[in-house]
Amino acid sequence: MSEEQLQRDFQSKLDAEIRIEPKDWMPDDYRKTLIRQISQHAHSEIVGMLPEGNWITRAPSLRRKVALIAKVQDEAGHGLYLYSAMETLGEPRSKAIDDLHSGKAKYSSIFNYPTLTWADMGAIGWLVDGAAIQNQVPLCRTSYGPYARAMVRVCKEESFHQRQGYEIMMELAKGTPAQKAMAQDALNRWWWPSLMMFGPPDKDSKHTAQSMAWKIKRHTNDELRQAFVDKTVPQGEFIGLTFPDKDLKWNEEKGHYDFGDINWDEFYNVIKGNGPCNKERIKARRAAKENGAWVRDAAAAYAKKKQNKSTEKAA
């Protein structure tokens, strides 16, 4: 079949909302874009375990500890589904992980901020998982089959994460003045970085137009950011917290909240590797790989032994 015919078939599948599957023909750049986005997403889930992992040993009750452990384990699971989805595009997982460790691959800017108090567990669940849900529910309809299917399960789990975070914030906000101040401080520190999670403004986003044409992305960065603000502000107000933005106000005419300018210099600085915790995060992931080498070696030796036995039996 000619390249033009293959391209036409690919386009008709997109037009008819038929998923592209691993063995289907796809343009090289479509494959590359997916590998870039899915690997960045997988790395974000894995690095994203670190800020919350920091508080597991200091959770204030058994119930909180159980929920936090479960959440952090879920994030590991999300990373693994996503690496598997990425591998169906022909990219080896080991290469993607090496790219993360060398600083070549990106992961979400948000995970380069420190978790200073217990209230940060509430703010991450409420805001970071809330932003992740806003971004990822539309990805359940993304055009690449394995990515879309992985997102369905990821989103169900993220909903539980968001609720457990909001519940922590709600409890702190109605607690002692010191607890309420802790919740407010966490909201102050996590609000703007959460808005940055959606990526640069549409006018500066280099991939959005093409990714929307390929139906990889279903909404632009600004659309998702606005929807997140509209949903989240009433939740914060409901528990008596305020947002660190003097320009935040309901715009009756537009039916949306107006909000202030995001500090894009901070965003670009963080994704270049200069955020408060970038070096610490990569160091932790490299150490995890080195410390886990014996597990991989043992698993490979066991698999080899098993294979030798079945070859002997067959002979």
Q: Which residues bind ligand FAQ (CB under 6 A)?
A: 36-37, 40-41, 44-45, 48, 75, 106, 108-109, 124, 128-129, 132, 135, 196-200, 205-208, 211, 217, 221, 271
CB of 75 to ligand FAQ, least distance (A): 4
Whether 228 and 134 have beta carbons less than 8 Å apart is answered as yes
Q: Which two tokens stand for residue 122?
A: 């509430």
**Residue 231 CB, nearest approach to ligand FAQ (Å):** 16
Paired tokens of 106: 């990106």
Which residue number, 183 or 195, has a Cβ lying nearer to ligand FAQ?
Answer: 195
Smallest separation, CB 118 to ligand FAQ (Å): 16
Q: Which of 119, 117, 168, 139 shows the shortest CA–CA distance to 44?
A: 139
Q: Which residue is nearest to ligand FAQ (CB)?
A: 48
Looking at beta carbons only, is 6 or 59 nearer to ligand FAQ?
Answer: 59
**Which one, 82 or 182, has the nearer CB to ligand FAQ?**
82
In whole angstroms, how far apart are CA 21 and each of 13, 152, 174, 241, 274?
11, 16, 49, 46, 38
Cβ partners under 8 Å of residue 43, min gap 6: 79, 96, 100, 105, 106, 107
The residue (of 185 and 223) whose beta carbon lies closer to ligand FAQ is 223
Q: Within 10 A of 79 (CB to CB), how many other CB atoms are there? A: 20
The minimum distance between CB 150 and ligand FAQ, in angstroms, equals 11
Q: What percent of the residues of the chain are helix, what percent strand, and what percent coil, each to the nearest 5?
A: 70, 5, 25
Q: How far is the CB of 210 from ligand FAQ (least distance, A)?
A: 8
* Of 206 and 313, CB closest to ligand FAQ: 206
Longest dimension (CA), the chain: 78
